[in-house]
Amino acid sequence: EAQVTQNPRYLITVTGKKLTVTCSQNMNHEYMSWYRQDPGLGLRQIYYSMNVEVTDKGDVPEGYKVSRKEKRNFPLILESPSPNQTSLYFCASKYRGRLNEKLFFGSGTQLSVL
Partner 1 sequence: AQTVTQSQPEMSVQEAETVTLSCTYDTSESDYYLFWYKQPPSRQMILVIRQEAYKQQNATENRFSVNFQKAAKSFSLKISDSQLGDAAMYFCAYRSARDSSYKLIFGSGTRLLVRP
Q: Which residues bind partner 1 (CB under 8 A)?
A: 31, 33, 35, 40-45, 48, 50, 56, 58-59, 88, 90, 92, 94, 98, 101-103, 105, 107-108, 110
Name the minimum Å distance from CB 31 to partner 1: 6
Q: Which is nearer to partner 1, 1 or 18 (CB)?
A: 1
Distance (Å, whole) CA 30 – CA 95? 6
Beta strand spans in 16-86 (E):
19-25, 31-38, 42-51, 54-57, 65-66, 76-78
Name the minimum Å distance from CB 26 to partner 1: 17
Name the minimum Å distance from CB 13 to partner 1: 19
Helix (H, G, I), strand (E, B) or coil at 85: helix
Q: Which is nearer to partner 1, 13 or 105 (CB)?
A: 105
- 87, 37 Cβ separation under 8 angstroms: yes
Name the minimum Å distance from CB 65 to partner 1: 17
Distance (Å, whole) CA 105 – CA 30? 14
